Amino acid sequence: MFDWNDIRFFLAVARDGSTLAAARTLGVNQTTVARRVEALEAALALKLFERGKAGSRLTEAGRALMGSAEALERSAQALKDQAAAHARGLAGVVRVTTNETLSNFFLMPAMPEFNRQFPDIQVQVIIDDRFLDLTKGEADVCIRATREITDPGLIVRRVADVPWGVYASRDYVARHGRPAAPEDLNDHFLIGGEDRMADVHAVRWMQQVAPRGKVVLRGNTLSNVHQAVRAGIGCGPLPRLVVGRDPQFVECMTTQDMDGIFMLTTPTLRDAPRVRAFLDFMSPHLQSAIRRMNAEASAAFSAPGS
């Protein structure tokens, strides 16, 4: 059986053309290179080089083995890189909880670049509209949209601000008109909230300003409400970034509500290299994407005829 390390000497001689040149590349003496190549030839029972005054040329057998030898070299390097990543802590699993909207609109588009930069960190995404308990280990990182974070035991990064408004579809407006003021909502069909969505400040605001509006559907997730409004069922409160530049939506009014997008973790996990890498990478990516979508939506709805 050959010594795996001898492959390194074989490749160096094949690439550099002589044992002397390979010795310089590898930082060893020429005798060592020659001895290791001879040991490989003996182990394989093959002559790998033709040796002459001009150097060392691969034999037919040597040329045939080059592809396999280079594959071994790549595998060894990959093993070395993985070991180094583990030594730095840039490996393992990061469990991230968020809601479906933030995941689909912002987290997933950033993941290809994160995976490219940190191939040994696996991200497990837990979609749940409930706020999982990070202190009990239900997740490592939380990405949420809310007005404020009141838990003093969490490490909090405020990534961006998100304004809310009341929206309708173009089809709805064509059939029922466009409410221009909060009191006008009393004469319209409305999309309300259920469960956690019922506690959203913009949902409560709409119910307060339009107590006589006919609530024809209640959604328990932001995604439900978004799709209900887009389908033309009624008017409903949505964050501007979710609506984006979708031409199917009409902005009826703003609600003066401003949610924050927060990234949360625990003091213990904050300095774990894999978690730190995720937070430091994702925070500016989310910030840039959210600000861009907010700006695009603002421009779209302020344009004449919008």
Q: For 14-51, write each residue's pLDDT tens digit.
A: 999 999 999 999 999 999 999 999 999 999 999 999 99
pLDDT tens track for 219-253:
998 889 999 999 999 999 998 878 877 889 999 99
Which range has the worst mean pLDDT, 52-56, 131-135, 147-151, 223-227?
147-151
Asked whether residue 172 falls in the same domain as residue 188, the answer is: yes
Q: Kindly report the CATH number assigned to the domain that includes residue 282.
A: 3.40.190.290
- pTM for the structure as a whole: 0.64
Residue 198 in tokens: 């019922």
Structural domains in the chain (count):
2
Assess whether 290 and 150 both reside in one domain.
Answer: yes
CA distances (Å), origin 27, targets 3, 21, 70, 76, 202: 19, 10, 20, 19, 69
- Inside any domain, residue 242: yes
Range of the domain at 221: 91-306
Domain boundary among 26, 53, 88: 88
Q: Is there a single domain that holds both residue 268 and residue 129?
A: yes
Dist. CA 166–CA 130, nearest whole Å: 24
Looking at the fold, whether 62 and 114 belong to one and the same domain comes out as no
Residue 88 has a pLDDT of: 65
Asked whether residue 66 falls in the same domain as residue 97, the answer is no
**Is the same domain home to 112 and 39?**
no
Q: Which of 71, 88, 105 is the last residue of a domain?
A: 88
